[in-house]
Amino acid sequence: QLPAAEGPYGLRVKFQGVTLYDEIDVIDTLYETEYVEIRVPIYKIKLLFVDCHNVPIPDLWFKFTLPGGETTWDHTTDEGEYDWSYMPAGTLTIHAAWWKGVELPLMEAKDATGEELPLTDGKLILNIEEGVDSPIVIKIPIKDLIFYTTDFQGEMKIPRLNITLTWLGTYKPWATEEVYFLETLDPTGDEEAEHFNTSIAIHPVWFRYEIDTFFHKIADDSPMEGLSEYEAKYVFYQMPPTIYNITVTTVTDPEYTQTEQSPGNSKWPGRDIPVPYEIKIDWKWAENRADSTPVNRTTPAKEVNDRVVLRIFGSMNGVPVTTENFPADLVEAWNPDLIGIRTELVCEEEITLKTWAHDFWKRVINGDLRVGDAEFKVVNDNGREMLYYNIEDEKWEARVSKWTEDIKDISAIMRDSYYTSTIYWNGSYLLTNLRFETNMTYSYSKGENASFMVDKFYNASAPNDVADVLNFTLVGTEKLWRTSRRFAYWEARIEGNTWKDWYPAWFLVYELPTPEDEYKVEAAADGKGILPVPIPVAFVKLKAFAKDGTTPLKDALIELWALHINDAEKLDISAEKGSGVIDFYSQHYDGECGGRWTTVYVDWEWEKKLKETEKPQIFEEAQWDRLKVTFRTYKWESYTCDIPSLSVSGINLTNTLRDTRLATVLCGGDVIEIWLHYVGHDKIENDVTYTVELKINGDLVDAETKTFPLTGTETFEVGPGVYVNIDPTDWSDEEGVWVVADVDLSGSYEYKKPSYELYDENTIFVQVPPSPAKLILRDVVSGWAEDIDVAISRDYIYPLIDSTCEVDRNVGYEDKWATPDGLLAYGRWYTDEDGYVDSFKDLGPDDPRYGTVVLPIGGWLNATFHDANTVTEDEFHYQINVVWKSAVVYSDNLVLDKTGYEIKPTEVYSPTFYMALCNSTDTVVKGLYVTIWYPNVTIWHDTVGWTTSPAKPEVLESIEDLPIYLSANELWAEGEKSFELVPGPRFMNTTWKYTFLANHSKIDWLDNLVHTTLVLNNETFGDDGLRASGSLTIDVPIMLAAAKSVLFEVLTWRDEAGIATAYPIPDYTVKYVIRNKKAGVVAAEGEAVTDAEGKVVIP
């Protein structure tokens, strides 16, 4: 119904905002209905979106601008298609796609003929016109990420782990806020029934994903016997190119069978306390960042047991982890090889995830020297033992160290027991159950040769330098270690940058150390780190060389004793003479082990002799090395000291007031006290530690320390016979500040002390070796409990702890020993032609262990065999003697530590002895008959001993086989004689050393022409210092009891002020005869003239 005369009529056609036809003059006038056919440029357009593998992408959102200029988002069908049934001519722009939160550029576009359509900055700008062939196939850079999980160096695939990917993206295509997306295996809601393979719709519109895994076995007995190889492939389908954070964890869920869980799952069941490295990742779909942030959950600990075995941070708080944003070391640790940066517009990526599964070497050592045949175990932080695969024997077996090479622990999958395989994930480990047999020595308590079974590890920061375990952290690289939450704590505790400085914390081993590392870990030939395993033993080099240090002594006897000393009671005897008291502690086993004390009173006096001063022929008295000691014991008096019973409530001891006296009793004229000492408490461990002490006249005589629960009670016993019951009632929240307890005290103490009635007395006269060497003396005097055993040095008398109680205080392999007479063990060895004992000789003479024996250090001996008495101060010493030609030529004493020990040159010489008028070789007397002998130390031990005052040498000489003669009444026509490799006297420990006798047929009024009243070379000859090299060939003058010269002085006198004053008379003639009238021997005769000083010297 348009007016006819109002023309002309025009026509404009618009579609989707696009003018398709616009003509102003179509009909001039309208008198009848007109049919006008207009053809407009409207086309049918179809798009097909595919991923890199030409697989259609369902429900893909994409952004486009229509020819009319409208820009919007829409999504494809389930077949990845999108149709416009009517599309006006013009320009259609496909800007981008949105997939799993990430806006993606177009990768490629082709028309229906396969002809490639050009892209502009990742966009498709399509002119809608005649000839456009549909469908337009648009490829989006959505790719498959194919992961392989391996050990740290990619040498072995490890299947059945869980990989979790997270990344940031918008929750809707047009949203601006980024949220976290997450894909993982077998999440809650997984529609795929098969474990590990995953198909899940997180949101019906915005997010779903699929994952396939491939874990089939590749081969058995590969790469070695008893092992298996598996595939470990994970395919995350249709992933956007973006920056990912990747977390790899083990699978320990009990819903999975043992063969479905991660390999070695029996070794990694999880801990029963929450720890940051065992997690579940909680995540939910959310449309804000805070609610979508994944959370690492660690509780409940019994259920959360999946161990984190790799973390890759492609971004940190949204900032890409690259060297443009972070230090290179952090990038290498957080994002090695930029694994998390997966922004490349490629169709597929294969990525090897090198997990923190490690191999490493171990070297059992003393110092820097390997120790072999040490067996031990490795326990992980889940408390499970890690089995050992011997790569040389290609079998699973016990872990035993080697003498010439290191042993390697590898992560490996066991052929016959997948679930007990050994995978060394990064973390903390313990070395435990050490067992190492030392060289055999004679056990005094066992009555046979036996090895010490060393069952502790060396730890310089632990009591006695030993610990039941060795704690270490295994990590890939130092850069990774520096990112650990524990690094700062470890660094604050250590004392330097090598393992020798790490005892206050724990040890560390990297799989891949580098020379640039600050904290040094030695690398093996294959580049993998070596864990040093110090054990409490040391190498003792047993050799015998003469004084020059190069002349070997064949068939020298080397003896070693292990002594149990109470260092707290040693008596200082360095003064010329004096008196003192030693309390001897002994233990006797009679059904049970009981301790007893004996008080010994000591008087001592060192021998004095005349010694030549620096001025020849001038002598002075000097203290010498022979000692006279008298030991006395007295009968004991016994007193029963009743301790008053009491109950005290609310005893509050603190870290500033730790002690309180519970009772004081006067008994036997002495004051008996019972004290309570608060050591501290631990709220986390829920325990408290107290010590109860018994003192007499202020001196501690017994104590007991115990740790027990704060919520419990504990009874202590001291004395024995005195009982203290402690019941804590309240305590501070802060550790070690204060504890309140109720205390009950009861009992009695049988107190013994010496009377004035003599029990036994003995005086000895002994030769004491140079310090620190000691003379070991048994049964020097009878005590009321045991006979008394001592070790005497130049400085102290040490009481030995005589115990027949066989003990092993260590937790581990049980091997009980006792110390009867204070002696734990004895060893003896003979040297070969090269001067060394026959031990480790297969290693060759250049090896530091050549000619050594391996013995436990003093700390281990003390920890293992101490007497458990808090009053004594146990020390275990080694006494070492070298015997050559039946004389001690070397002696030393030490508390053996990790530095080991090497016998130094001995006192063996090739001397020339001179019968001389003075301490010089210039005045040799010819034609004397000379006897030289020294005591055979073995015969001395059997016939004379050291617990008496022996007879003089001339009396002892008659004992069969005691004297060893160098010269037996032999005429020395030239007054001198040389000898080869004879014992020097300085370490001889027989009371008498060398005896020199000289006589002449015409001098019968003297039994011995040697000047025996002086300290002469028969006791001192030698060169340079002790235990040091010097001259092998030496000259030794033996001073005779004769004058080198006679001096006459002629004087006159005059009175000066009433004082007679002497004046020399020069130029006077003196006639003289020096003779023994009875013997008719004239020594000198003649005349001489006085010099200016009125003197005449007759040589």
Candidate from 173-182, 186-195, 1028-1037 with smallest mean pLDDT: 186-195
Cβ burial of 876 (10 Å; 0-12, 13-18, 19+) is buried
Candidate from 170-179, 739-748, 1036-1045 with smallest mean pLDDT: 1036-1045
For the segment 1021-1029, the average pLDDT, to the nearest whole number, is 93
- For residue range 684-720, what is the model confidence (pLDDT) as tens digits? 788 999 999 999 999 898 899 999 999 999 999 998 8
Per the structure, how many domains does the chain have?
A: 7
How many angstroms separate the Cα of 851 from the Cα of each of 586, 640, 695, 839, 848?
A: 36, 57, 50, 5, 8
Specify the higher pLDDT residue, 735 or 1077: 735
pLDDT at 784: 76
Where in the sequence is the domain holding 985, given as residue range(s)?
908-1039
The pLDDT of residue 22 is above 70 = yes
The pLDDT of residue 1059 is above 70 = yes
For the segment 785-814, the average pLDDT, to the nearest whole number, is 93
- The pLDDT-based confidence of 35 (bands split at 50, 70, 90) is confident
- The pLDDT-based confidence of 4 (bands split at 50, 70, 90) is low
Residues 274, 151 share a domain: yes
Q: Is residue 290 part of a domain?
A: yes
Residues 197, 148 share a domain: yes
Give the residue ranges of DSSP H helices in 462-502: 478-482, 487-493
pLDDT at 668: 87
Q: Is residue 639 part of a domain?
A: no
For the segment 159-173, the average pLDDT, to the nearest whole number, is 98
Q: Is residue 763 part of a domain?
A: no
For the segment 936-947, the average pLDDT, to the nearest whole number, is 95
Residues 840, 739 share a domain: no
Cβ neighbors of 608 (< 8 A, separation 6 or more) are 576, 621, 622, 623, 624
- For residue range 948-972, what is the model confidence (pLDDT) as tens digits? 999 999 999 999 999 999 999 999 9
Q: Is residue 129 part of a domain?
A: yes
pLDDT at 622: 83
Give the residue ranges of DSSP H helices in 878-963: 937-939, 953-956
- For residue range 289-321, what is the model confidence (pLDDT) as tens digits? 999 999 999 999 999 999 999 999 999 999 999
The mean pLDDT value of the chain amounts to: 93
Cβ burial of 1031 (10 Å; 0-12, 13-18, 19+) is middle
Q: Is residue 734 part of a domain?
A: yes
Residues 268, 152 share a domain: yes
Cβ neighbors of 659 (< 8 A, separation 6 or more) are 653, 675, 676, 677, 678
How many angstroms separate the Cα of 293 from the Cα of each of 167, 243, 286, 483, 607?
A: 10, 16, 9, 22, 88
The pLDDT of residue 166 is above 70 = yes
Q: Is residue 411 part of a domain?
A: yes
Residues 402, 310 share a domain: no
pLDDT at 1015: 60
Candidate from 374-388, 537-551, 734-748, 1085-1099 with smallest mean pLDDT: 1085-1099
The pLDDT of residue 1079 is above 80 = no
Give the residue ranges of DSSP H helices in 327-388: 328-334
For the segment 109-137, the average pLDDT, to the nearest whole number, is 91
pLDDT at 290: 95
Residues 344, 271 share a domain: yes
**Residues counted in the chain:** 1099
Contact between residue 101 and residue 169 where contact means Cβ atoms under 8 Å apart: yes
The pLDDT of residue 1094 is above 70 = yes
For 360-393, b/e burial (b = at least 16 CB within 10 A) is bbbbbbbeebbbbebebbbbbbbeebbbbbbbee
The rounded distance, in Å, linking the Cα atoms of 139 and 776 is 94
Q: Is residue 636 part of a domain?
A: no
pLDDT at 17: 80
Residues 398, 303 share a domain: no
Residues 742, 683 share a domain: yes
pLDDT at 228: 97
pLDDT at 30: 77
- For residue range 403-420, what is the model confidence (pLDDT) as tens digits? 999 999 999 999 999 999
Residues 159, 129 share a domain: no
- The pLDDT-based confidence of 1 (bands split at 50, 70, 90) is low
The pLDDT of residue 232 is above 80 = yes
Domain end point (choices 83, 118, 139): 139
Instruction: State percent of the chain over pLDDT 90.
Output: 80
pLDDT at 1042: 79
Residues 260, 123 share a domain: no
Contact between residue 716 and residue 724 where contact means Cβ atoms under 8 Å apart: yes
The rounded distance, in Å, linking the Cα atoms of 209 and 274 is 31
- For residue range 757-781, what is the model confidence (pLDDT) as tens digits? 899 999 999 999 999 999 999 999 9
Residues 377, 335 share a domain: no
Candidate from 354-363, 431-440, 696-705 with smallest mean pLDDT: 696-705
The pLDDT of residue 1083 is above 80 = no
Domain end point (choices 335, 354, 373): 354
In three-state form (DSSP H/G/I as H, E/B as E, the rest C), the secondary structure along 522-540 is CECCCCCEEEEEECCEEEE
- The pLDDT-based confidence of 1006 (bands split at 50, 70, 90) is confident
Q: Is residue 761 part of a domain?
A: no
How many angstroms separate the Cα of 85 from the Cα of each of 12, 49, 367, 580?
A: 21, 17, 85, 119
The pLDDT of residue 23 is above 80 = yes
- For residue range 557-591, what is the model confidence (pLDDT) as tens digits? 999 999 999 999 999 999 999 999 999 999 988 88
Specify the higher pLDDT residue, 559 or 1093: 559
- For residue range 840-890, what is the model confidence (pLDDT) as tens digits? 999 999 999 999 999 999 999 999 999 998 889 999 999 999 999 999 999
- CATH number of the domain enclosing 79: 2.60.40.10
Contact between residue 702 and residue 719 where contact means Cβ atoms under 8 Å apart: yes
The rounded distance, in Å, linking the Cα atoms of 698 and 830 is 51
Domain end point (choices 720, 746, 772): 746
Residues 544, 416 share a domain: no
Phi, psi of 489 (to 5 degrees): -65, -45
